[in-house]
Amino acid sequence: MSTADRHADREAEAQKNYVDLRGLLINKAIASDLDLADLIRRFPAKNTHGQPWVKEWFLHAYQPRPASRTT
C-alpha cells in the first residue's frame, strides 16, 4: 500500500494503484525485467537513495531467477 500511496494525490488514485499492483502479483506469478521496467515507467517516484519505490516492492514480491535456457 505504501508504494501505491507514494504515487497518488488522492485516496481513490492510491486505491487504484494498489489494485493494479496487487493484480500484477495475482496474474503474473512469474515477472520479467521488462515487467519491472514497465512498472518503473508507470510508478517513477524515488526514495531518498534515488531508487524507484516500485523496484523495492518488486524485489520483495518476486525472487530473482535466471532465465531458463532452451537449446
pLDDT confidence of residue 70: 65
Give yes or no for residue 50 having a pLDDT over 90.
yes
Q: What is the pTM of this model?
A: 0.78
Domain boundaries, the chain: 2-61
What are the C-alpha distances in Å from 29 to residues 18, 57, 62, 69? 17, 15, 8, 19
Report the b/e string of 13-43 with b at 16+ CB within 10 A: ebeebbeebeebeeeeeebeeeebeebbeeb
The per-residue pLDDT for range 20-36, each reduced to its tens digit, is: 999 999 999 899 999 99
Model pLDDT, residue 71: 59
pLDDT for position 52: 95
